Amino acid sequence: MKHLTRALLGASALTLVATAVMAEKLTIATVNNGDMVRMQKLTDDFTAKNPDIELEWVTLEENILRQRVTTDIATKGGQYDVMTIGTYEVPIWGKQGWLLSLNDLPDSYDKDDLLPAIRGGLTVDGELYAAPFYGESSMVMYRTDLMEKAGLEMPDAPTWDFIAKAARAMTDKDNEIYGVCLRGKAGWGENAAFLTATANSFGARWFDMDWKPQFDGDAWKNTLNFYIDLMNDAGPPGASSNGFNENLALFQSGKCGMWIDATVAASFVTNPNDSTVADKVGFALAPDNGLGKRGNWLWAWSLAIPAGTQKAEAAKKFVDWATSKEYLALVAEKEGWANVPPGTRTSLYENPEYAKVPFAKMTLESINSADPKNPTVDPVPYVGVQFVAIPEFQGIATQVGQQFSAALAGTISADEALANAQSLTEREMKRAGYIK
Amino acid sequence: MARAISTRRQITVTILAWVIGITIFFPILWTILTSFKTEAEAIASPPSLFMFDWTLENYGEVQERSNYFRHFSNSVIISLGSTVLGLLIAIPAAWSMAFVPAKRTKDILMWMLSTKMLPPVGVLIPIYLIFRDTGLLDTRIGLVIVLTLVNLPIITWMLFTYFREIPGEILEAARMDGAMLWDEIVHVLTPMAIPGIASTLLLNVILAWNEAFWTLNLTAAKAAPLTAFIASYSSPEGLFYAKLSAASTMAIAPILILGWFSQKQLVRGLTFGAVK
């Protein structure tokens, strides 16, 4: 009996060890934002369904993550099996052959349910290279009480002229109320993203069809002058240092009449735990200028699998789970509909429960009105609404953003900023071989 | 009269020292205070210094989301490992340059220091490829090696300047008494240089603990130290200041405590010579 017990215990131990050895460990690189953190908390559901797969998370700040995963994928380092990347990286990396195609995800995944604008941004030559985890555009978030006090009514689809008029009417600098808060902090993902999207609605573009920079045209001049005048009249002090988080803090503490930024902010500003104005927020589409394009962008944090991974099958299982309809239902069940990752699937917006979320309709309309392949009025040789999907863009746009930020701070004029942006972009594009 | 001037001067210097000390410490104090606020209070304007609802929820959330102890143990192993390995190389190197200088010793010292002038990102890709090919990516041993090399010039310089103040006659006397090279270094030089070695050790531990470029770029999940732990709480979209402050406080607490208890040795080693 004693021997039998020992033998059974030994066999059990061996089985446990064998299971541990057999379990495949996936290393997942991700960003630190609310939706991703929520996913990490819900992974028990995945591991219960896939006991042979272990998950190991590497959560990093966005810029550090971008640097890490770019180094790793470019050198085939093999550190990660699943990477969280954005719509900027997917077309570039997909073309390079650095990502595995996800066209062979099972039928149950229902690729046709993905929002067309988002799916288009993640597809290269017919191959889906990343599965969207959440999608976002930009829109106007405004204080309903201040709008009413100013005697104005926000239309669902405002023009820039209306935004300027409302911003000036809502501003009460003595009481630290500023009509509009917009990004001013330099960076390709900060003010350059906002101003590129805004410029689209003014008919501006980064490059013509021959890749010649276009900052010397009237469209960019009108964009930058409008932005600087508006911010000087109705923006908060020190706006050239304000990015998403700074403006979020200003809006939540009741100091902004309007804020035009990522749709994902809607859940923050309406959260009564963090926002002092949670019950006084309205939403509208990003403004236009009557030229047929709105100043909203398109972005999706997506899960992609590097081509060099040894664990492709397990990685695909995880990507399938995390971006599936079932995952959205799981989040709704555990955390409520308002916390479901937005902007990826048509079926979510057809769900009557989700339709009750106050910002759902405006988020969908904003995403649907962005077209990464035809971002502005005139044709362009690039893909991307608030970015240009070429490897050189990060460096160039950060420098251009510094020029715009300096113009907003008043250290140089708008004309100087545009002239500098034109010459530095020309120099970099020549260096990269796009133009001679 | 002279005494009055001296007292006044002493008071002025004391006040100045306190002002400088508080100014230097203020960012750390602010981080610690913010870690006890809610996210809404952390961004409140005007900010509140002490009059807020103190909460431990950020620490609870950080503890729930991250494996602090794994990052902590990685930090301890990496910083102590690189310090010990660095001292094993730097002590003989500094000894030879201080007591048996060659024609090019000064040039070698300058060359060693010049490696610190190179921006680390300039060699990131070559080192990443070497680490990839040797299987050192995301390993503690890999980080021990790279941090040893990164800090070696500084600790060799520190020990060299320290050893140089030890009179050569003492070592000569030891040799005349029959001491071999090993005895000379272990039984004569090292005991005299213990304050200097101790301060070098402490400084190297602090440098290695705080190093963020290599530790972030060469690790993923297994060997990531506390720098990666902090980096995981910064977010470009969403409020994170209170949680980031809690993570930062947890990350700097061990080195702050070590610095507090060893400040006497650190100051003595950095300011006094070997034979004073």
For the segment A168-217, what is each residue's pLDDT rounded down to a tens digit? 999 999 999 999 999 999 999 899 999 999 999 999 999 999 999 999 99
Mean pLDDT taken over chain A: 91
Find the largest Cα–Cα distance for chain B. Answer: 73
Q: What is the pTM of this model?
A: 0.83
Closest chain A residue by Cα to residue B71: A58
Which of A355, A389, A423 terminates a domain? The answer is: A355
Q: Tell me what pLDDT residue A16 has.
A: 44
Give which of B53, B66, B226, B237 to mutate to test A binding, by max A Cβ within 10 Å: B237
Does A370 reside within a domain? no
Min Cα–Cα distance to chain B from A84, Å: 14
Following CA atoms B192, B195, B201, B205 in sequence, which dihedral angle do they give, to the nearest 10 degrees? 170
Closest partner residue to A61 (CB to CB) among B44, B124, B235 is B235
Does the CB of A68 have a partner CB in chain B at under 8 Å?
yes
Q: Are residues A65 and A175 in the same domain?
A: no
Beta-carbon separation of A32 and B235 below 8 A: yes
- Note whether residue A158 is domain-resident: yes
Give the Cα separation of A192 and A173 in Å (integer): 27
What's the mean pLDDT in A101-117?
Answer: 94
State whether B239 and A40 contact (CB < 8 Å). no
What SS3 class is residue A82?
strand
Backbone dihedral angles phi then psi of residue A102, each to the nearest 5 degrees = -105, 20
Residues A91 and A47 occupy one common structural domain: yes
- Judging contacts by C-beta atoms under 8 Å, the chain B residues touching residue A75 are 125, 128-129, 132
Residues A185 and A196 in one domain: yes
> Does B221 sit within 8 Å of A32, measured CB to CB?
no
- Contact at CB, B43 and A253, closer than 8 angstroms: yes
Model confidence at A307: pLDDT above 60: yes
pLDDT per residue as tens digits for the range B255-264? 889 888 888 7
Whether residues A108 and A220 fall in one domain: no
In a domain, A365, yes or no: no
Choice between B169 and B84, residue whose per-residue pLDDT is larger:
B84
pLDDT of A167 higher than 90: yes
- Per the domain annotation, does A367 fall within a domain? no
How far does B217 lie from chain A, in Å, by closest CA?
A: 6
Please report the residues numbered 269 through 328 in chain A whose beta carbons come closer than 8 angstroms to any beta carbon of chain B.
Answer: 273-276
Whether B68 has its CB under 8 Å from any CB of chain A: the answer is no
Q: Read off the pLDDT band of B267 (50, 70, 90).
A: confident
Give the pLDDT of residue B4: 60
Cβ <8 Å between B132 and A76: yes
> Parallel, antiparallel, or unpaired for β A82-85 and A24-31?
parallel
Q: What is the pLDDT of residues B236-245, one digit of tens each?
A: 777 788 999 9
Both A193 and A309 in one domain: the answer is no
pLDDT: is A117 or B76 the higher one?
B76
- Greater model confidence, A350 or B116: A350
- Kindly state whether residues A152 and A127 are assigned to the same domain: no
CB contact under 8 A, A243 and B236: yes
Same-domain status, A287 and A302:
no
All structural domains of chain B, each given as residue ranges with its CATH number in brackets, are 67-271 (1.10.3720.10)
* A2-27 mean pLDDT: 58
Q: Are residues A167 and A269 in the same domain?
A: yes
- Dist CA A161 CA A163 (whole Å): 5
State mean pLDDT over A136-145: 95
Q: CB distance B220–A31 less than 8 Å?
A: no
* B212 close to A (CB below 8 A): no
Between B43, B132, B232, which is nearest A249 by CB? Answer: B43
The answer on A129 and A58 residing in a single domain is: yes
Taking contacts as CB-CB distances below 8 angstroms, the residues of chain B near A57 are 221
A2 pLDDT tier (thresholds 50, 70, 90): low
User: pLDDT tens digits for B35-62?
Assistant: 999 887 887 777 888 888 899 999 998 9
Evaluate the CA torsion angle A374, A375, A378, A379 in order and state its sign: negative
Model confidence at A4, pLDDT cuts 50, 70, 90, reads low
Q: How confident is the model at residue B168 (pLDDT cuts 50, 70, 90)?
A: confident
A350 located within any domain: yes
Q: Confirm or reject contact between B123 and chain A (CB < 8 A).
A: no
Q: Tell whether A57 is covered by a domain.
A: yes
- Of the partner residues B39, B125, B232, the one whose CB lies closest to the CB of residue A32: B232
Q: Name the residue with tokens 């131990």.
A: A13
The residue behind tokens 């409020």 is B239
Tell me the DSSP string of B241-270. HHHHHHHHHHHHHHHHHHHHHTHHHHHHHH
Is the pLDDT score of A20 beyond 80?
no
Banded pLDDT at B5 (limits 50, 70, 90): low
Is A75 in Cβ contact with B132 (below 8 Å)?
yes
pLDDT score, position A268: 86
Residues A40 and A118 in one domain: yes
CB-based contact A33 B238, cutoff 8 Å: yes
Closest CA to B200 of B166, B151, B167, B165: B151
Task: Indicate the number of domains in chain A.
Answer: 2
Residue A371 lies in a domain: no
Interface check for B229 against chain A (CB to CB < 8 A): the answer is no
- Report the CATH number at residue A341: 3.40.190.10
Does pLDDT of A100 surpass 80? yes
Among the three residues A355, A386, A401, which one is the final residue of a domain in this structure? A355
- Record: contact A71-B40, CB cut-off 8 A: no
Phi, psi of A141 (to 5 degrees): -110, 130
pLDDT per position as a tens digit, B215-254: 999 999 899 999 999 988 887 777 788 999 999 999 999 9
Instruction: Report pLDDT for A429.
Output: 96
The domain of A192 spans 137-297+378-431
Q: What is the pLDDT of residues B98-107, one digit of tens each?
A: 888 888 988 9
pLDDT band at B8 (very low <50, low <70, confident <90, very high): confident
Same domain assignment for residues A302 and A279: no
B234 CB within 8 Å of a chain A CB: yes
Domain annotation covers residue A217 = yes
Model confidence at A3, in pLDDT bands (50, 70, 90)? Answer: low
Q: Do A259 and A279 have their domain in common?
A: yes
Query: For A243-283, how does the pLDDT look when each residue is reduced to its tens digit (9 = 90+)?
Result: 998 899 899 989 999 999 998 888 889 888 888 899 999 99
Strands (E) in A115-191, as ranges, are: 123-124, 127-128, 131-143, 178-181
Amino acid letter, residue A93: W
Residues of A in contact with B40 (CB under 8 A): 252, 273-276
- Beta partners for residue A42, in sequence order: none
Which residues of chain B lie closer than 8 angstroms to A31, CB-CB?
Answer: 235
Residues of chain B contacting residue A34, judged by C-beta atoms under 8 Å apart: 238
